[in-house]
Amino acid sequence: MTRVGVVLSGCGVNDGAEIHESVITMLALDRAGVDMVLMAPNIDQLHVINHYTESEMDESRNVLVESARIARGKIRDMAEVHTSDIDALIFPGGFGVAKNLSDYAMAGADCSVNPDVKRFATDVHKAGKPIGVICIAPVMFAKILQGAGDSVELTIGTDEQTSSDINSMGSNHISCPVEDIVIDKKNKIVSTPAYMLAQRISEAAEGIEKLVKEVLAMV
According to DSSP, residue 97 is labeled I
Instruction: Reduce the DSSP state of residue 129 to 3 states and report it.
Output: coil
The residue ranges of DSSP E strands in 72-174, in sequence order, are: 76-77, 88-91, 131-134, 153-154, 172-173
The single residue of 11, 111, 135, 176 carrying the catalytic annotation is: 135
| Separation between Cα atoms, residue 93 and residue 53, nearest integer Å | 21
Q: Is 99 in contact with 76 (CB distance < 8 Å)? A: no
Q: Kindly tell me the sign of the dihedral angle through the C-alpha atoms of 121, 157, 12, 100.
A: positive
DSSP assignment string, 175-196: ---TT--EEETTTTEEEE-GGG
Whether 111 is catalytic is: no
CB atoms within 10 A of CB 61: 18
Q: Is 57 in contact with 19 (CB distance < 8 Å)? A: no
Please give the positions annotated as active site: 135
